Amino acid sequence: MDTLSRLEKVIAERRNASPDASYVARLNSKGIEKIAQKLGEEATEAVIAALSGSREDLVGESADLLFHLLVLLGAKQIPLADVLAELDRREGVSGLDEKASRGK
């Protein structure tokens, strides 16, 4: 099992824990809007780190971004495997062609 799969499992286990004992449970107790907001904040911090931070800053912010994406996917009951399957489906397809196909 890879790192993201293990993390997805831990997030699922903590989702229904006490919000006083688990950050994941606390985020989930605040609702999908808060989880999405937190993901947006982490994405912004990753962009800032990419533009003006160190390599270590970007690595850390990227880890935060992936973590919060997994929290959001879990809250929406979307398995990481579904996202990976979509990436597999897109493999070998030009990014420009794939993007153009979404508008049709």
pLDDT at 101 over 90: no
Domains of the chain: 3-78 (1.10.287.1080)
Alpha-helical regions (H) of 1-104? 3-14, 23-29, 32-52, 55-75, 80-90, 95-102
User: How far, in Å, CA of 57 to CA of 50, rounded?
Assistant: 8
Please state, rounded to an integer, the average pLDDT across all residues of the chain: 94
Contact 90, 98 (CB under 8 A): yes
pLDDT in tens, 45-88: 999 999 999 999 999 999 999 999 999 999 999 999 999 999 99
Q: How high is the pLDDT of residue 104?
A: 59
Express as a percent the part of the chain with pLDDT over 90: 86
Residue 58's contacts (CB-CB under 8 Å, 6 or more residues apart) are 46, 49, 50
